Structure 1
Amino acid sequence: MKKYWLMTLVAIFTIFLAACGGSSTDAEDVTMPDNPEDLEGDITIWAWELEANYLEQDVVPAFNEEYPNVNVNIEQSGVDQVYQKVSAGLSSGGSGLPDIFQVENNRIHSFTNEFPDGLTDLNELGFDEHEDKFAESKVEGLKTDDGMLAAAPRDLGPVGVMYRTDVFEEAGVDPASIETWDDYIEAGKQVVEHTGKAFLGMDNEGLFRIMLQQQGAYFFTEDGKLDLTSEEANNAIEVIQEMRDEDLLVYTNNWDGQVAAMKNGEVANHPGAVWWSGTMIEQMPELSGNWDVFELPAFEESGNRAANDGGSALAIPSASENKAAAYAFVEFASTDVDSQINGLTNRGLFPSLTAAYDEPIFSEDQEYFNNQPFFEKFAETIEDIPPVNHAPGELEVRSIMESEFESFLLEDKAADQVLSDGQSQSQQQTGLETSE
């Protein structure tokens, strides 16, 4: 009788352990079949609007031609909803999570830091053979300190200065003459004097982040310490302060305000990521032919003129019950050139897969952008984008700096005070050490 109860308890305990651990497999236990038709089962993906549409309409049909027995279910939610559900699932040990979810570079380390075993190392499934096919800055931003690749690179946001060709012409400004931020400011004075328009609009700390990255710096050092009072940060905010003092800036309040300022001709240019092109074409079609782009100005002659703003990736939770099919889909979605081009053409999603840059669309003249090879101009900057550390506390720091820049733009707060207050508030909120 005692033996019977002992066996029963062992069985119950075994079932309990299995329930706690879920039925997922470790990455090293996953076997990818040689024949794609042998891969089967269902996978679920969480993503938000543009990426969800890209995956469902541009990727799934092509993927199923190669993997006909994998059923892909795309669940579209808002950005915040995806993150909330992922956090809840990881907190509960993987319960209710999908097989794949979309994640931004600036959010990936929030998950890997809080849940170090929550995501699959894609290199253990074979993605290391693809790493050199992508922009270095993109791949490095998706790795943990110990070299784990937490997500597969998808789109990114190389930065340029989109400008009104008609306004620059009226002011007598040749964009080719703008090589440094000093040149940019002088051009701004000329535009304001001759046209009465503001040179550019600002609604947050975005330009500051762009300027930091082009110098190879960011909110954090490589080892994760706060670095808001660095030499690079001072370089950036001094340029922005000069713009403010010369009355080149207009405060545009928010995203909608920035779009309206560009649409209504209130501003003459916008330093921003390539993905702005989709919004411009959709919301200001009447300005077709009146926009073009030039490289981000450098801080010194022959200095770096490249930076990135935005972009996302595809991660596989460790709790996925069909890692083989999930990995096959992630690999296909990020490395299939035709799918990448469809994403760019149909949705303005700029690929991080460098082989895509050899496709005709990159060298084709775009009617909306002054009949110039708009996408090629951005692609030419990719190799020069410096990798930066998107540490776990980035969103908190960005929120703090957004408030600081609001005070800077609306209340004339001193530039050095913006940086010192931002650093101290960020330290209090995140608990991170500060750089010396």
Structure 2
Amino acid sequence: MSTPPIGRRGFLRGALGVGALAVAGCAPGGGGQAAPSRLAAPSATASAVKGEITIWNRSGDLFKVFDAAIAKFKQAYPGVTVNHQQVDIDAKLANTLISGTDVPDGSFWDDAKIGGQAEHLYDLTDLVAPYKDQTAPYKISVNTVDGKIYGVPWDLDPGLLWYRADILEDAGVDIAGIATYDDLLAASRTIKERNPASKPIHLDKNPFLSQLWLEMLANQQGTSLTDANGKLRLDSPEYQNIFAWIRQATGDGLVTHAPYLEPADVNTLDSGQQVFVPWAIWWSFAPQNLLKTTKGKWRAAPLPAWTPGGARSGAMGGSSFVIPAKAKNPELAWLLYEYLCFKDEGIQAVYGPNSVYPGGLSTSVPSYTPALDPAKPLFQPIEALGGQDLWKVATEAAATIPAAVPIPWWWAQSVDYLGNNVQRLIEGKMSPDDVIADSAKKIQRNLIDRG
């Protein structure tokens, strides 16, 4: 990422890109354009394949990681020239796909935004098919629109419970005893009793990120904002559970409401005011790169479950690779993405030790399940987490993530309603029932019915 407070992901930049998508976005299959044909892989051998491709990625640390991995791809496919470009994808890709002018052969993109542009992308169903049964079900489902796969599944971002090990030990709180979200509230109360200035649980102040976090908690319960037919299901027991829990946590004074890894957040993480951060694996960026006085004191555990014995993780965000329908050399772009996502050499090149991450890329895990062996780590234990084996924690959590349904094309735009209302709930300005009723009405009226 180009801005350290966000880590390797561009989620705040994604939030700023929502406006562009609001203009460019349209329902899959809309506008009368014929759906692109299914893409077929080249039949030539690796040594015989020749051509040039333009590939878009975001700037920052991930660009450097992929650049190094692409160099290894070129060793496997010496006849392929890769023009790897740093691009503001959120600002540029959707409009480029619609205009059909100067489109790349392939691009990195957030899962939440792929469905909205499916009609401008190649159908990759046949190419992904050999790997489908060995890819995390969640990633297949979010890349699928009307039964067709439009994204090459890349990373999986399991939710984890990040916690201050030293504070829990001082308070006599056993992390193993935090098995449910009620247990998390109880542990937070115990900590606050010892330190009244503590507001142990992080809830985020950014509407886009808070909605992404909300969907992690919903996915953990096996649901999401819409069902497989696109019907809104915000008014459900699962979302009611989440909103009631938020209200309880805020009402008991257990919440630090701060913007993700901005100075106010970092300061309260380092001061001990925050003790628990229920967040995606990519929060590992913070102790490794931003925190000062508490580096080495944080650890990761599975998320609590909503019910005893329930799933201990959900997906928060994630990215895949898309191939535009008007790409000049789409077959060669597929070879690159197949190498990065499904071939052992390519997965090692991305996640293993490299010049950017000497211990390996530890801000996500692959979605290709043969690579998710707890006993065969792709990245090393992290000193900034006290030497904890994050790979083992993350891969075991990832294995519990429920499948999902395709993300609706209007998801990013719905932040104007749901994400903002989640903020009002945290601030005590709306009730759970009001959040559900107001958000559902506006999403239905302004997005779904106009789709």
TM-score by shorter chain over 0.5: yes
Supply the AA of the counterpart residue of 1:232: E
Q: How many residues align?
A: 397
Per the alignment, residue 236 of structure 1 pairs with 242
CA distance in 1, matches of 2:242, 2:422: 13
CA distance in 2, matches of 1:399, 1:261: 28
Per the alignment, residue 162 of structure 2 pairs with 162
More helix per residue: 1
Change (3 A) 1:259 1:80: farther
CA distance in 2, matches of 1:372, 1:412: 40
| Contact 1:171–1:194 (8 Å) recurs in 2 | yes
| Contact 1:163–1:293 (8 Å) recurs in 2 | yes
Per the alignment, residue 67 of structure 1 pairs with 77
| Contact 2:278–2:303 (8 Å) recurs in 1 | yes
| Contact 1:343–1:349 (8 Å) recurs in 2 | no
CA distance in 1, matches of 2:267, 2:377: 29
CA distance in 2, matches of 1:399, 1:383: 32
Where do residues 24-35 of structure 1 align in structure 2 (5 Å cutoff)?
27=38, 30=40, 32-35=42-45
CA-CA distance at 1:362 after TM superposition:
5.6
Where do residues 43-54 of structure 1 align in structure 2 (5 Å cutoff)?
43-49=53-59, 50-54=61-65
Supply the AA of the counterpart residue of 2:169: E
Per the alignment, residue 120 of structure 1 pairs with 122
Out of 407, 410, 433, which is 1:416 matched to? 433
Change (3 A) 1:332 1:362: closer
CA distance in 2, matches of 1:160, 1:349: 11
Where do residues 248-259 of structure 1 align in structure 2 (5 Å cutoff)?
248-256=254-262, 257-259=264-266
TM-score (norm 2): 0.83
Per the alignment, residue 368 of structure 1 pairs with 384
Query: Following TM superposition, where does structure 1 have runs of at least 4 consecutive aligned residues deviating by more than 6 angstroms?
Result: none
CA-CA distance at 1:142 after TM superposition:
0.5
CA distance in 2, matches of 1:364, 1:44: 32
After superposition, what is the alpha-carbon deviation per residue over 1:54-110, rounded to whole angstroms, capped at 9, x for unaligned?
2211x21211111001110111123422xxx32223222x22100001111111101
Change (3 A) 1:407 1:193: same
After superposition, what is the alpha-carbon deviation per residue over 1:359-397, rounded to whole angstroms, capped at 9, x for unaligned?
633695433223322121110122321122311111122
CA-CA distance at 1:340 after TM superposition:
2.7
Where do residues 119-268 of structure 1 align in structure 2 (5 Å cutoff)?
119-124=121-126, 126-145=127-146, 147-196=147-196, 197-202=198-203, 203=205, 204-256=210-262, 257-268=264-275
CA-CA distance at 1:26 after TM superposition:
5.2
Change (3 A) 1:144 1:269: same
CA distance in 2, matches of 1:335, 1:73: 21
Supply the AA of the counterpart residue of 2:107: F
SS at match of 1:372: coil
Change (3 A) 1:411 1:299: closer
CA distance in 2, matches of 1:71, 1:355: 29
CA-CA distance at 1:128 after TM superposition:
1.0
Where do residues 92-111 of structure 1 align in structure 2 (5 Å cutoff)?
92=99, 94-111=100-117
Q: Give yes or no for the alignment of 1:393 onto 2:410.
A: yes
CA distance in 2, matches of 1:35, 1:409: 57
TM-score (norm 1): 0.85
CA distance in 1, matches of 2:379, 2:107: 32
Per the alignment, residue 350 of structure 1 pairs with 365
Where do residues 316-355 of structure 1 align in structure 2 (5 Å cutoff)?
316-344=323-351, 345=353, 346=357, 347=361, 348-355=363-370
CA distance in 2, matches of 1:342, 1:171: 42
CA-CA distance at 1:215 after TM superposition:
0.6
| Contact 2:348–2:378 (8 Å) recurs in 1 | no
Change (3 A) 1:405 1:138: same
Per the alignment, residue 39 of structure 1 pairs with 49
Out of 78, 87, 111, which is 1:77 matched to? 87
| Contact 2:55–2:105 (8 Å) recurs in 1 | yes
SS at match of 2:296: coil
Change (3 A) 1:53 1:181: same
Supply the AA of the counterpart residue of 1:367: E
| Contact 2:191–2:200 (8 Å) recurs in 1 | yes
Per the alignment, residue 393 of structure 2 pairs with 377
CA-CA distance at 1:230 after TM superposition:
1.1
CA-CA distance at 1:357 after TM superposition:
2.3
CA-CA distance at 1:263 after TM superposition:
3.2
Q: Which runs of 5 or more residues in structure 2 are unaligned?
A: 1-35
CA distance in 1, matches of 2:125, 2:214: 33
Q: Which runs of 5 or more residues in structure 1 are unaligned?
A: 1-24
RMSD (Å), alpha carbons:
2.1
Change (3 A) 1:36 1:339: closer
Change (3 A) 1:209 1:73: same
| Contact 1:158–1:381 (8 Å) recurs in 2 | yes
Supply the AA of the counterpart residue of 1:184: L
| Contact 1:27–1:323 (8 Å) recurs in 2 | no
Supply the AA of the counterpart residue of 1:119: L
Change (3 A) 1:328 1:266: same
After superposition, what is the alpha-carbon deviation per residue over 1:276-308, rounded to whole angstroms, capped at 9, x for unaligned?
112330111543321111211112111121201
Change (3 A) 1:276 1:41: same
| Contact 1:396–1:429 (8 Å) recurs in 2 | no
CA distance in 2, matches of 1:222, 1:33: 35
SS at match of 2:53: strand
After superposition, what is the alpha-carbon deviation per residue over 1:13-43, rounded to whole angstroms, capped at 9, x for unaligned?
xxxxxxxxxxxx9545x56234212111110
CA distance in 1, matches of 2:314, 2:306: 13
If you compute each CA radius of gyration, which structure gives the higher value, 1 or 2?
Answer: 1
CA distance in 2, matches of 1:139, 1:327: 16
What percentage of aligned pairs have identical amino acids?
24
| Contact 1:357–1:376 (8 Å) recurs in 2 | no
CA-CA distance at 1:413 after TM superposition:
2.0
Change (3 A) 1:75 1:412: same
